[in-house]
Structure 1
Amino acid sequence: MTTLGILHPGSMGAAVAAQAKRTGAEVLWCPAGRSEASKERALRYGLTAASGLSEMSQQCDVILSLCPPANAEDVASSVAAHSFSGIFVDGNAISPASMQTISTIMSSAGAQLVDGSVIGSPPSATKTPRLYLSGPEGPVETVARLFERTAVNTLTLQGGIGKASALKLSYSTFQKTSRVLAAISYALARDYGVEDELLEVAQGRTTSYLAETEYFPKVAARAWRWGPEMREAASALAKSSLPAGLAEAAAVALEEWAEAKDLPLEIAEAMDLLHSTPDP
């Protein structure tokens, strides 16, 4: 039986790790320092508590990191510090360059790195996200088997470390920036009293994020996590000699929502928070 460790069981991480239980894996997590919400998710999904990262590193064949991108390197370093020698799956929204840094960290500990990216909503009875994997063939196959015939659809990318993370940020650059631009567009229209007209125009194009105003509060509540992701996207774009200004601008806009983490906002409240606070 394969033992999987999850760092840390947020809404995505807990749901993904729970799918591995369906293939017979035992799933461990570390309660120390985690929130009550994390503890509730771990209990709901039947995850097994480890006494700490040391026990997890000793007991697990595979450790999956799904955390805010700004914390990805620190999480990898903390695992490496416990001499983990199994398969470390970094499934975070970080740039290929950042993934190479984590590859070096894990290699120094004797672990094998799999580059992963999750695209889609947390797995459920009605939702099937994709887990893209790239890296050494053997470890990638081991990770893919953990999710066979589950609500997590694994797909392998050829080309080694950096491919899965590049795909994630390529998608995020459009998807998340578009969400931010839609909210800013409505905030401007609202200032001039033409938001209803803008919505009417947008509804004529049913594939437009402009027609999904109900999503703005969700974007605001996730800005603390999406902002660093856009910084990583900007880094990846710049490294490829592509314009990075839009991703950087999206990060700046997301910072206007920095205090909205997990708040149950109304649409108008989310747009109000986009207005910069005037200098005193």
Structure 2
Amino acid sequence: MDQPTVGILHPGSMGAAVAACAATNATAVLWCESGRSTASVERAARFGLTPVATLAELLDRSDIVISLCPPAAAEALAHDVAGYGFAGVYVEANAINPERTQRIAALLPDATLVDGGVIGSPPVGGKTPTLYLSGPAEATACIEALFANTAVQAAVLGTEVGKASALKLSYASFQKTSRVLVALAVGMAREHGVDQELIEVASGRTDSYLSEPQYVAKTAARAWRWAPELEEAADTLAAAGLPPEMLRAAAATLARWNDAKDDSELTLTDALDRLAQP
């Protein structure tokens, strides 16, 4: 389709930045301001998104809808969309397991569902995340065209819905659990007064997360989003007959930081203290 109208659900830090990239090849990118926070309104305005009053209006005007929200909200959001009989292309780009993606596809019988997974940081400041896609070929080609020549790199994995979700969670399982292990390792070392020595040891090794303990504070601030994602990944492991306990334990560890949501002022010391004394 030429110059489609796109709807974004909802413009969080990732969603707004991805939507702004889509605007390069779209007639307009819409978002529904009903019930959203002041921060969402300001973010959407900063990225040049067009507000509409209701979800019904967004769905009526949009050829393509991109769902990018916290994992726990993905299915409820799809239920809301299903109530309006949306018949365009629905990009389920949340960090959810393949079975949930299939359930969402079943919820939207009139729509064409594209399974998506974003790997990388939001596309701002020179960052170039990849949006992996799987689903019907014609629909994935439309999404590739939507992000052509933008900071979002679209990559098609095939026609099977679930592949993009599986890739996203496979990567997240390692990348996010590794950050949790850094917090535990540095916290243990600090208890015995050898945290600086631990960091020095790790710094001599290639690409060790242990050489970046300052990232623990960022992990704490993002824990409210990461914990549900690891629970989704654990469900995926269990469905494959693999042990999910490691990821469930990591999610439980992240939950100790729930009250640090999006705290950009958090320090490493603060994060470790909260981890030890929730």
In structure 2, what is the equivalent of residue 227 of structure 1?
A: 227
* DSSP-derived class of the 2:238 partner: helix
CA distance in 2, matches of 1:211, 1:32: 44
Show the 5 A alignment for 1:22-61. Answer: 22-61=24-63
Query: Does the 8 Å contact 2:203/2:211 carry over to 1?
Result: yes
In structure 2, what is the equivalent of residue 275 of structure 1?
A: 276
Q: 1:5 and 1:24, CA in 2 relative to 1: closer, same or farther beyond 3 A? A: closer
Query: Does the 8 Å contact 2:79/2:107 carry over to 1?
Result: yes
RMSD: 1.0
What whole-Å deviation, never above 9, does each CA across 1:69-113 have from its counterpart, x for those lacking one?
011000111111111111110100000111111111112xx1111
CA distance in 2, matches of 1:218, 1:37: 19
Show the 5 A alignment for 1:161-176. Answer: 161-176=161-176
Verify: 1:183 aligned to 2:183, yes or no.
Answer: yes
CA shift, 1:6, in A, is 0.4
Specify every segment of 5 or more residues in structure 1 that has no aligned partner in the other structure, as ranges: none
How high is the TM-score relative to the length of structure 1? Answer: 0.96
Show the 5 A alignment for 1:208-219. Answer: 208-219=208-219
CA shift, 1:24, in A, is 3.5
Show the 5 A alignment for 1:76-115. Answer: 76-107=78-109, 110-115=110-115
How high is the TM-score relative to the length of structure 2? Answer: 0.97
Across the two proteins, how many residue pairs are aligned to each other? 275
* DSSP-derived class of the 1:149 partner: coil
What whole-Å deviation, never above 9, does each CA across 1:6-56 have from its counterpart, x for those lacking one?
011011100000001112431000111111111111111111001110001
In structure 2, what is the equivalent of residue 116 of structure 1?
A: 116
CA shift, 1:124, in A, is 2.4
What whole-Å deviation, never above 9, does each CA across 1:103-132 have from its counterpart, x for those lacking one?
11112xx11110000000111251110000
CA distance in 2, matches of 1:2, 1:96: 27
Query: Does the 8 Å contact 1:25/1:146 carry over to 2?
Result: no
Query: Does the 8 Å contact 2:6/2:30 carry over to 1?
Result: yes
In structure 2, what is the equivalent of residue 9 of structure 1?
A: 11
Specify every segment of 5 or more residues in structure 2 that has no aligned partner in the other structure, as ranges: none
Query: Does the 8 Å contact 1:6/1:13 carry over to 2?
Result: yes
